[in-house]
């Protein structure tokens, strides 16, 4: 999709967005433009997939790999307390971009007041 910013990032057509090392060719990872924590990354499939509401049982391996990438990028950036991490998806209509993307935030204990609300575990708008 030429209009989808995450598709353009995955195709390396957004020069302002640096991709981080990723062990899977079908996924990309980059820093969130508006970080909610000291470490805030997005893990995005290269192939355009809708939001998390479009996920089906066959997508479980994809989501597990997305989480694996999130943990790996945290460790590559010297964050090793994987018990202080929040990962999840914004539930429509609360996602700003309709391309599946996993938020990886750490340390979760350092989320600011608004970020604690915006990325609240299993809330009406954010699911882990």
Domain residue ranges in the chain:
5-98+109-127
**Is 101 considered catalytic here?**
yes
pLDDT tens digit sequence for 94-113: 888 999 999 999 999 999 99
Please tell me the CATH code under which domain 5-98+109-127 is placed. Answer: 3.30.428.10
Q: Exactly one of 40, 90, 99, 101 is catalytic; name it.
A: 101
**What does the H/E/C string look like for the chain?**
CCCCHHHHHHCCCCCCCCCCCCCCCCEEEEECCCCCCCEEEEEEECCCCCCHHHCCHHHHHHHHHHHHHHHHHHHHCCCCCCCCCEEEEECCCCCCCCCCCEEEEECHHHCCHHHHHHCCCCCCCEEC
Residue 72 is predicted with a pLDDT of 97
Residue 4 is predicted with a pLDDT of 93
Residue ranges of the chain whose pLDDT lies below 70: 1-2
Residue 1 is predicted with a pLDDT of 59
Residue 96 is predicted with a pLDDT of 84
pTM reported for the whole predicted model: 0.94
């Amino acid at each position: 999709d030429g209009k989808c910013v995450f598709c353009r990032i995955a195709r390396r057509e957004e020069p302002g967005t640096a991709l981080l090392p990723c062990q899977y060719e079908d996924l990309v990872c980059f820093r969130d433009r508006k970080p909610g924590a000291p470490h805030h990354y997005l893990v995005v499939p290269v192939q355009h997939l809708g939001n998390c509401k479009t996920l089906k049982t066959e997508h479980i391996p994809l989501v597990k790999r997305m989480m694996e990438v999130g943990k790996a990028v945290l460790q590559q950036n010297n964050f090793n307390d994987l018990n202080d991490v929040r990962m999840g998806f914004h539930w429509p209509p609360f996602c700003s971009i309709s391309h599946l993307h996993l938020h990886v935030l750490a340390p979760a204990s350092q989320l600011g007041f608004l970020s604690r609300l915006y990325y609240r575990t299993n809330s009406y708008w954010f699911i882990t």
